[in-house]
């Protein structure tokens, strides 16, 4: 079976972002001050743990960003675009039921008329096609089987965790120039200025134990149940990780150039440049955000509908809409950071070292790049990590309003939107909602905790004004 790689637009940008991050990491490694700050972030237990959790989400998202098409039997390439994550989760994706079933259930949620062996029908919940199909007598064997599978999975997770610890100790032994066992001991009893390795190991232990148990159960059951059309909820939740990450990061990619450019220009050149830019962001800011995004998305929707034929697959169409959504949110969301940077630049431009540079005849662009930008980068960084979680949460709201990602795309917002009315059912269908909220909460909490640590490390005064709602604290221009 041969594969044809497919590069969707958001894939290209995601990998570009990975490259940019790698470049930034290289720059950090070479700059002592930045290295010190990042060291402080990862030396805090909370920073290390949240970074590890974020790392897992990012790995899932990246695996979901490697897309390809399979060659079918007739030699043509299939229409369906799949990703590396799909390949890894193919057992989950393939095992669909007919409709709702509860987590770890063996029987369907709804009752049907079943034909009995001796003729005649009885009204009962039918057995699932895959969930617990291997059990002879579900009532007797179910509990034991679930425990056995969970334990086997957890044991596997534990083994992976031990392997991970050994590899980490081995790598650090070379770095610390000591023996393997000395390195293990130092992981347990860290010396001063060590990173919070112990927190990393604890996080990895908990995560691997949980993931192992879930994987063990997933071999025979639907761990988080199935949705209305019988699709595995765990699979959907994992597929939604990429959507959340893309919205949280690519939007920033759009925001940053605009915000940095306009903010620095307004603060440095003042005069009419400042007036024009201030007018721009006051105008943009005064439009209710959701309405602005909604209007833009509606228009993109019409555009996509009219150019239906230029997209060769559903995945490409959904991807175009996701990208458009990121661009729209980015272009409407730069005002907060721009205002912050303008205020900071206004202060910085009066400082001695900038005046000195000007006296030496250094030009405006060079001063901005060499003297101002490096001194506001902590503000940029803090804003980026703080905005990320807000954007992930905003996706759900926008999907509810009806202007979020494409309805066929997996996203937590779409999951919530599809399942929110099912709470009125009898018996209650709660698992799609809980799965979506749970995954979203894990990602956003990790991001928020990480942002908190980053803010402490890069801005010890913590004087950065950054409320959740940028409009709520608006200082109203110059008072």
CA distance 194 to 313: 50
**291 touching another protein, by CB under 8 A:** yes
Give the residues across from 112 on adjacent strands: 124
Find, among 214, 200, 106, the residue nearest to 161 by Cα: 200
Nearer to another protein, 150 or 386 (CB): 386
In whole angstroms, how close is the CB of 350 to another protein at the nearest point?
20
Q: Which stretch binds another protein (CB under 8 A): 119-127, 253-261, 359-367, 393-401?
A: 393-401
**99 touching another protein, by CB under 8 A:** no
Find, among 153, 149, 152, the residue nearest to 208 by Cα: 153
In whole angstroms, how close is the CB of 111 to another protein at the nearest point?
22
CB 38: neighbour CB atoms within 10 A?
Answer: 19
CA distance 208 to 53: 11
**393 touching another protein, by CB under 8 A:** yes
Give burial (CB, 10 Å; 0-12/13-18/19+) of 414: buried
Using the rule CB under 8 A, which residue among 210, 287, 351, 356 binds another protein?
287
| Beta carbons of 416 and 400 less than 8 angstroms apart | yes
**102 touching another protein, by CB under 8 A:** no
Q: Which stretch binds another protein (CB under 8 A): 17-25, 33-41, 83-91, 461-469?
A: 461-469
Using the rule CB under 8 A, which residue among 18, 160, 292, 327 binds another protein?
292
In whole angstroms, how close is the CB of 394 to another protein at the nearest point?
10
In whole angstroms, how close is the CB of 383 to another protein at the nearest point?
15
Q: Which stretch binds another protein (CB under 8 A): 119-127, 337-345, 371-379, 446-454?
A: 446-454
Find, among 299, 275, 268, 246, the residue nearest to 411 by Cα: 246
**311 touching another protein, by CB under 8 A:** no
Greatest alpha-carbon pair distance for the chain in Å reads 100
The torsion region of residue 213 among left (phi > 0), alpha (psi -120 to 50) and beta comes to alpha
**471 touching another protein, by CB under 8 A:** yes
Nearer to another protein, 134 or 420 (CB): 420
Using the rule CB under 8 A, which residue among 70, 194, 452, 456 binds another protein?
452
**258 touching another protein, by CB under 8 A:** no
In whole angstroms, how close is the CB of 402 to another protein at the nearest point?
5
Residues numbered 169-228 forming contacts with another protein, rule: CB under 8 A: none
CA distance 255 to 335: 9
Using the rule CB under 8 A, which residue among 5, 119, 427, 477 binds another protein?
477
| Beta carbons of 320 and 405 less than 8 angstroms apart | no
| Beta carbons of 81 and 8 less than 8 angstroms apart | yes
Q: Which stretch binds another protein (CB under 8 A): 13-21, 184-192, 195-203, 282-290?
A: 282-290
Using the rule CB under 8 A, which residue among 165, 282, 313, 377 binds another protein?
282
Using the rule CB under 8 A, which residue among 294, 314, 327, 373 binds another protein?
294
Nearer to another protein, 256 or 442 (CB): 442
Nearer to another protein, 108 or 414 (CB): 414
- Counting residues that bind another protein (by CB under 8 A) gives 54
The torsion region of residue 334 among left (phi > 0), alpha (psi -120 to 50) and beta comes to alpha
**296 touching another protein, by CB under 8 A:** yes
**462 touching another protein, by CB under 8 A:** yes
In whole angstroms, how close is the CB of 249 to another protein at the nearest point?
18
Using the rule CB under 8 A, which residue among 161, 444, 454, 457 binds another protein?
444
285: tokens are: 């800011």
**386 touching another protein, by CB under 8 A:** no
**420 touching another protein, by CB under 8 A:** yes
**114 touching another protein, by CB under 8 A:** no
Nearer to another protein, 196 or 215 (CB): 196
Per-residue CA distances from 211 to 55, 151, 154, 320 (Å): 15, 12, 8, 32
The torsion region of residue 409 among left (phi > 0), alpha (psi -120 to 50) and beta comes to beta
In whole angstroms, how close is the CB of 368 to another protein at the nearest point?
27
Binding site for another protein (CB under 8 A): 279, 282-288, 290-292, 294-296, 298-299, 302, 305-306, 389, 393, 396-397, 400-403, 416, 420, 423-424, 433, 437, 440-441, 444-445, 447-449, 452, 462-463, 467-469, 471-477, 479
């Amino acid at each position: 079976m041969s594969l044809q790689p497919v590069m969707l637009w958001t894939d290209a940008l995601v990998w570009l972002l990975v490259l940019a991050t790698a470049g930034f990491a290289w720059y950090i490694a070479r700059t002592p001050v930045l290295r010190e700050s990042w060291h402080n972030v990862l030396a805090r237990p909370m920073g290390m743990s949240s970074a590890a959790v974020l790392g897992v989400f990012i790995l899932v998202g990246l695996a979901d960003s490697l897309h390809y098409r399979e060659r079918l039997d007739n030699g043509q390439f299939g229409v369906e675009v799949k990703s590396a994550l799909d390949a890894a989760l193919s057992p989950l994706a393939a095992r669909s039921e007919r409709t709702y079933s509860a987590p770890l259930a063996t029987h369907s949620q709804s009752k049907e008329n079943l034909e009995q062996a001796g003729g005649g029908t009885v009204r009962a919940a039918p057995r699932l096609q895959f969930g617990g199909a291997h059990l002879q007598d579900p009532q007797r064997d179910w509990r034991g089987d679930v425990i056995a599978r969970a334990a086997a999975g957890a044991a596997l997770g534990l083994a992976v965790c031990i392997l991970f610890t050994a590899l980490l100790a081995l790598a650090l032994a070379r770095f610390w120039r000591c023996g393997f066992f000395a390195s293990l001991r130092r992981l347990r009893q860290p010396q001063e200025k060590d990173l919070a390795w112990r927190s990393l190991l604890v996080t990895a232990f908990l995560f691997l134990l949980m993931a192992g148990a879930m994987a063990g159960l997933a071999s025979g059951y639907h761990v988080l149940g199935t949705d209305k059309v019988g699709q595995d909820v765990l699979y959907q939740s994992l597929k939604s990780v990429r959507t959340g990450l893309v919205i949280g990061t690519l939007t920033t990619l759009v925001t940053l150039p605009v915000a940095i450019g306009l903010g620095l220009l307004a603060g440095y050149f003042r005069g009419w440049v400042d007036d024009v830019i201030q007018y721009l962001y006051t105008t943009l800011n005064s439009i209710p955000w959701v309405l602005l995004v909604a209007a833009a998305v509606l228009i993109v929707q019409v555009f996509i509908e009219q150019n239906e034929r230029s997209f060769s697959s559903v995945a490409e169409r959904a991807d175009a809409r996701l990208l458009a959504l990121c661009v729209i949110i980015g272009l409407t969301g730069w005002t907060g950071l721009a205002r912050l940077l303008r205020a900071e630049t206004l202060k910085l431009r009066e400082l001695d070292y900038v005046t000195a540079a000007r006296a030496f005849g250094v030009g405006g662009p060079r001063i901005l790049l060499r003297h101002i930008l490096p001194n506001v980068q902590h503000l940029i960084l803090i804003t980026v990590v703080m905005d990320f979680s807000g954007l992930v949460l905003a996706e759900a709201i926008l999907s509810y309003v009806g202007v979020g990602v494409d309805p066929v795309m997996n996203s937590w917002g779409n999951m919530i939107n599809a399942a929110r009315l099912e709470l009125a059912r009898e018996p209650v269908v709660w698992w799609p909602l809980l799965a979506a909220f749970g995954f979203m909460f894990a990602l956003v909490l990790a991001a928020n905790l990480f942002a908190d640590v980053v803010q402490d490390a890069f801005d010890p005064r913590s004087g950065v004004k950054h409320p959740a709602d940028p409009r709520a604290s608006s200082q109203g221009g110059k008072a």
